[in-house]
Amino acid sequence: MFESLSDRLSGILDKLTGRGALSESDVNEALREVRRALIEADVALPVVRSFTDKVRVRAVGAEVVKSVTPGQMVVKIVHDQLVEMLGADAEPIDLNAPAPVAIMMVGLQGSGKTTTTAKIARRLATRDKRRVLMASLDTRRPAAQEQLKVLGEQNGIDTLPIVAGQGPVDIARRAIQAARLGGYDVVMLDTAGRIHIDEALMHEMAEIKAATNPHEILLVADALTGQDAVNLATSFDERVGITGIALTRMDGDGRGGAALSMRAVTGKPVKIIGTGEKAEALEDFHPRRIADRILGMGDIVSLVEKAAEAIDAEKAAKMAAKMQKGHFDLEDLAEQLRQMEKLGGMSGVMGMLPGIGKMKKQLDAANLDDKMFKRQIAIIQSMTPEERRKPDILKASRKKRIAAGAGLDVAEVNKLLKMHRQMADMMKLMGKKKGLFGKMMSGLGGGLGDALGGGMPDIDPKQLEQMARSGQMPGGMELPKGLPKSLPGSAGLPGFGGARLPGLGGMPGFGPGLGKGKKK
């Protein structure tokens, strides 16, 4: 969502960092461009004014003038003010209350309220190990209660049985009672929405709030609506009193103004952001990490956290053991492709790496395509179990059959087999050099062996952030050939020849540099 703004700000700040000394006029000219970029990103005008005024006061002060690298100091000031504008510290959903903790979800129709309710419930159940009960209070929208029930079944979350003819307030009271008697830790109340705010909606919200006394009232707002989302949050807060905001569709191509303005205008924190349609596509809102992404500094910490949730440690341990022996068949390759898909594909991973925004030309030349994973998995699934274990038996007739089964050309099958052969050769080489394999798979500190034994290694997120900013490589690894030396942390991208995310042996199809992945 922040790609356009990130490109604009990076270009503006790069001009400053390239100069040895800065005058006040240089800073003012840069801030005029920053102001224009923020306004075009749909950030609220009062927020833009406050932001640029605060940056100007610090940027023309003694801390910049006396700095050895004034350009870098201005970048730091812009980053710090971005963090402050976004809310400084992350504020996750608060469950610090006697069970059952009631979480009331409010918002307009079409904002993704019911889906977000199910996503949060799944997250609390899987990550926080809480027993969650969901209840739909929407008696107006056709099949709204059935929708939540289906989502509950899909994600293994209990839902309150539907009683025909019961009103929203009565359903809410029944949900609290059922949660209390059933020993649930959390009860999620999915309220009805409207096409627009009206008196009847606000009256209903107030009645439900009085009947259930929710610990959290989360407003679900569509990030693509820009400043309308900010105005909506202000209205709901004045009438109902929200405790936080869940922004949906943050993976869209909107301008990001809602996310940047929300905290400053409403005073309420953005707690959760939806980053896709899948049930697991939900993230905590970390102001510092969002600021890092906007300024092209990457978000290594979130990438590692996502890897910890997405990767099956037991499967990864078995794969690592096979690799250490120099074994790597097509089943292993398929598993790695699935893991990359869980991490959001190439675009999802690349978007969190520092400096990637400045490599657009190289990335475009490499023809990176997230659909590539689906095509390659389809090819492998078209093979027999024996063919996956012994790819050497694949001759012309078998390749033709596999290509037809996957709906692709034989050339695609040959590309996949060539890629697998290169990776298998590398695994054999690494298997012979025991120390090399341990070093290559050490990951972001702690070692893969330790990581797989007990989940993720015990990494301090602040240490990771510091490493990403300073250009220090995890585990003492060097940057792979073909990537700029100024790209801190890039060796954490699977398959670029350096340290890897735990459980990922390498990004298929990429050798030591981006150019190796270029399509012919």
Q: What is the mean pLDDT of residues 229-248?
A: 88
Say which residue, 5 or 273, is predicted with more confidence: 273
> In this structure, what are the phi and psi dihedrals at residue 103, rounded to the nearest 5 degrees?
-120, 115
What per-residue confidence (pLDDT) applies to 508? Answer: 42
Domain 101-296 has CATH 3.40.50.300: yes
Give residue limits of the domains in the chain.
Answer: 3-86, 101-296, 311-517
Say how many Å lie between the first and final Cα of the chain, rounded: 31
pLDDT above 70: percentage of residues in the chain: 70
**306-356 tens-digit pLDDT:** 666 666 667 777 777 777 777 788 888 888 888 777 776 666 666 666 555
Binding residues: 107-114, 190-194, 248-251
Q: What DSSP assignment string belongs to 357-374? A: GGGHHHHHHTT--THHHH
CATH placement of domain 3-86: 1.20.120.140
Instruction: Report which of 118, 100, 93 is spatially closest to residue 190, judged by C-alpha positions.
Output: 118
pLDDT at residue 214 tops 90: yes
Q: Are 221 and 258 in contact (CB under 8 A)?
A: yes
Binding residues for GTP: 107-114, 190-194, 248-251
Query: Which tops the pLDDT comparison, 241 or 460?
Result: 241
pTM of the predicted model over 0.95: no
Q: Is the pLDDT of residue 516 over 50?
A: no
Q: Are 147 and 110 in contact (CB under 8 A)?
A: no
pLDDT at 477: 35
**CA nearest to 429, candidates 372, 506, 367, 502:** 506
Q: What is the CATH number of domain 311-517?
A: 1.10.260.30
**Mean pLDDT highest for which of 105-114, 365-374, 421-430?**
105-114
Angstrom distance (rounded) from CA 336 to CA 329: 11
